[in-house]
Amino acid sequence: MAAKRITTVRELRGSFPKVKRIVETEGAVIVSDHGKPKYLLTLYTPPPERAPRQPKDYMARLKKFQSRPMSAAAANALHEENRGDR
């Protein structure tokens, strides 16, 4: 990689089109603040597009925990057990 150009914050504010052109041609610019290198300006590269997520199959998840339905007698027993003393 070629040496990166150094520019100042003042030059960045005052002549941004010039700095932008340098970034586009050279790939990066180091911005100095009070004589010390502080920031690195580079070209933005968007992240790769992700594949759309598949919708969740809630019935499959339910069947994984309860593979077959509860019998009517077991459902009534559970209901009576959960009712308490009413």
CATH of residue 21's domain is 3.40.1620.10
CA 69 to chain centre: 39
Question: What's the residue count for the chain?
Answer: 86
Instruction: Characterize the bridge pairing of strands 5-8 and 28-33.
Output: parallel
In a domain, 79, yes or no: no
Residue 11 maps to a domain:
yes
Q: How many domains does the chain have?
A: 1
In a domain? residue 16 = yes
* CA distance linking residue 12 with residue 6, whole number of Å: 10
In sequence order, what are the residues at sequence separation of 6 or more whose Cβ sits closer than 8 angstroms to the Cβ of residue 5? 22, 26, 29, 30
Does the global pTM surpass 0.75?
Answer: no
Per the structure, the complete domain to which residue 20 belongs is given by 5-42
Q: CA-CA distance, 26 to 1, in Å (whole number)? A: 9
At residue 84, does pLDDT exceed 80? no
Is 60 within the bounds of a domain?
no
Q: What is the pLDDT of residues 67-81, one digit of tens each?
A: 678 889 999 999 988
pLDDT tens digits, residue range 23-45? Answer: 999 889 999 999 899 999 999 98
Inside any domain, residue 13: yes
